[in-house]
Chain A
Amino acid sequence: MTKRYIGSLLVGVLVGIAIGVYIGWEQFPVEYTNSSIAALAPRYQEEYTVMVAEGYQVDRDVNGALTRLQPLGKANVFDYIQDLTERYISQSNVPAISPMVALAEAVGRLTPIMEVYRTTPVPTSVPFPTQ
């Protein structure tokens, strides 16, 4: 009688654990509702970065833009800006290229591949009038 109970209990525990693990990790996993921007999915992080870059295009406040990128928690935010900009160029993500290039240039990360996307006119020398 005791063996029968213990055996049934063990089988039940094993089945219960299997069900519980499925529920806890797959069906109803923990949902975080107090997350930081650093925990955002990469696509949202990149979208956020582009939004900040677009804001920079309007106000030209590079310190403000870098402050807004701080919550992303990137080890080197300059590298991150450069990498993302070059990736958008390689992917022909046209709407995002212009603001990202402007931001990359503002932080001193304008690379040759970005040159053609610059919106800031390059100052040209005015020839002196000849007599």
Chain B
Amino acid sequence: MIMDPDDRQPAERGLSWWALLLGVAFGIAVALVYTWEIDPVIERNTAPWQLSAADREDYVIAVALSYTANQDLALAFDRLRALRPDQDVWSLVADVACNRIKTGQVVTNSDIRVIRALEGLYRPQGASGCADGQYPTPAPVTLNAPVPSATPSPTLPPPLTKTPTPPVPTDIPQTGEIIPTRTPPAGGYVLSRLESFCNPAAEGMIEIRVYDRLGQGVPGVQVSVTWSGNERDSFFTGLKPEREAGYADFRMTEGRTYTVMVPGLTGDPRSVEAVPCEVTVDGERVTALTSYRINFTQRSN
């Protein structure tokens, strides 16, 4: 008996659904291995958020330098958002600054300017990190150019007389007042410590400590603080002996940059900036003015 092909069962002529599904699964698997592993899409049109950590750091630095030039905060924010969508971009900047200091990438003046640019971007926005106050921007220096005076008419030197030269006055010892020494030590001082801290109880303070080469506090050392170019104040260490023998302090005004010097200071004087900081006290975030500790130590030679 010969069976007519049209008489076959429908199931034998149609598709096998099990085999079809198995084939689809196998095909998808093969295709994904090929498109994701063997021949993925060519990397192009990458967005900043896809950058590696090192290149992201370069990008953040460029944003900070650009902000230093144009002071366009909204633009800087948008650029940083492209790096870290939906995250705190200012913390990112603070982390970059901190990382550069930790990894010893602050060697040249250019590196210091980078840190200052980064700090100038994140600190006014309330972020903070380990780079805070490490490389404060120095106060602008104003040079007073001598005003040329009218050309003096030549005068003849006075004729010599027989008047005896008056005696040189001798030092008259004073009593009742201690004159602090102003003579710098032979070896001078070096900046041995500069750190910032945030303490609402003592906000905006510059705490200066002067030590000799043995580590003992030195009283009577004149400390000069300058700000706003030509504003200046001087005071001496040791006037608060209850703190330390070589201690003195100075209260800053918000928004100003102060340069602290002692006589015979070796190296460039350092500047600190009175900027707001945040600290957690009893579980509450408190905003205060940043304070600084600056130590000077007598050089050993």
A residues less than 8 Å from B47 (CB atoms): 40-41, 44
Query: Chain A residues with Cβ under 8 A from B17's Cβ?
Result: 8
B25 interface contact, C-beta 8 A: yes
A8: B residues at CB distance < 8 A? 15-20, 23
Encode contact with A along B45-61: 1 for CB under 8 Å, 0 otherwise. Answer: 11110111001001101
Complex contacts, A39 vs chain B, CB 8 Å: 43-44, 46, 50
- Bitwise, B1-43 to A at CB < 8 A (1) or not (0) is 0000000000011111111111111111111101110001101
In the complex, A17 Cα to B95 Cα: how many Å? Answer: 45
Which residues of the other chain, A, contact B117 by a CB distance below 8 angstroms? Answer: 55, 58
Could you count the A-B residue pairs with CB atoms below 8 Å apart for me: how many are there? Answer: 178
- A116 interfacial by beta-carbon distance below 8 Å: no
Contact B36 A55 (CB under 8 A): no
Contact A51:B19 (CB < 8 A) given known A35-B55, A39-B46, A41-B44: no
B65 at interface (Cβ–Cβ under 8 A)? yes
Given contacts A16-B24, A71-B58, contact A64 B51 (CB under 8 A): no
Chain B interface residue number, banded: 35 or more
Cα–Cα, bound, A32→B46 (Å): 8
Q: Which of A17, A34, A44 has the most CB of B within 10 A?
A: A17
Contact (Cβ within 8 A) A9 B22: yes
Q: In the complex, what's the smallest C-beta–C-beta distance from A100 to chain B, in angstroms?
A: 12
| Residue B295 CB within 8 A of the other chain | no
Q: Which of B27, B36, B61 contacts A30 (CB 8 A)?
A: B36
What per-residue 1/0 map shows which CB atoms of A34-51 lie under 8 Å from chain B?
A: 111101110010011011
Q: Which residue of A has the minimal Cβ distance to B14? A: A4
Confirm or deny: B113 has a beta carbon within 8 angstroms of a beta carbon on chain A.
Answer: yes
Q: Which of A1-56 contact B (CB under 8 A)?
A: 1, 4-21, 23-25, 29-37, 39-41, 44, 47-48, 50-52, 54-55
The answer to whether B15 and A68 touch across the interface, beta carbons within 8 angstroms, is: no
Question: Nearest residue in B to A95 (C-beta to C-beta)?
Answer: B70
Given A9-B23, A16-B30, the answer on whether A4 and B44 have CB atoms closer than 8 Å is no
Q: Which one of B22, B27, B45 contacts A17 once the chains associate, using CB atoms below 8 Å?
A: B27
Q: Which of A16, A18, A48 contacts B62 (CB 8 A)?
A: A48
CB distance from A119 to the nearest CB of B (A): 12
A101: min CB distance to chain B, Å: 14
A63 proximal to B (CB < 8 A)? yes
Does A59 have its Cβ within 8 Å of any Cβ on chain B?
yes
Alpha-carbon gap, A23 to B63, bound state (A) = 36
Residue from A4, A36, A52 within 8 A of B65 (CB atoms): A52
Give the distance to chain A from B28, nearest Cβ to Cβ, in Å.
4
When chains A and B are docked, how far (Å) is the Cα of A108 from the Cα of B70?
24
| Interface flag for B99 (CB, 8 Å) | no
Query: Which of the residues A24, A35, A50 comes within 8 Å of B50, measured between beta carbons?
Result: A35
Smallest Cβ-Cβ distance to A10: which chain B residue:
B23
Task: Give the residues in chain B near A58, CB-CB below 8 Å.
Answer: 65, 68-69, 113, 117
Which one, A13, A54, A64, contacts B26 given CB within 8 A?
A13
In angstroms, Cα B69 to Cα A15, docked, is 57
Tell me how far the C-beta of B95 lies from the nearest C-beta in chain A, rounded to whole angstroms.
18
Instruction: Let me know if B27 and A55 touch, CB within 8 A.
Output: no
Query: When the two chains form their complex, are residues A16 and B27 in contact, meaning their CB atoms are under 8 A apart?
Result: yes
B residues with a Cβ closer than 8 A to A are 12-32, 34-36, 40-41, 43-48, 50-52, 55, 58-59, 61-63, 65-66, 68-70, 79, 82, 109-110, 113, 117
Other CB < 8 Å A-B pairs besides A4-B14, A55-B66, A58-B117, 8 of them?
Answer: A10-B23, A17-B31, A18-B27, A19-B27, A20-B30, A39-B46, A55-B65, A57-B69
Q: Which 9 A-B pairs have the closest CB atoms?
A: A12-B23, A16-B27, A20-B31, A24-B35, A55-B65, A8-B19, A51-B62, A51-B66, A54-B69
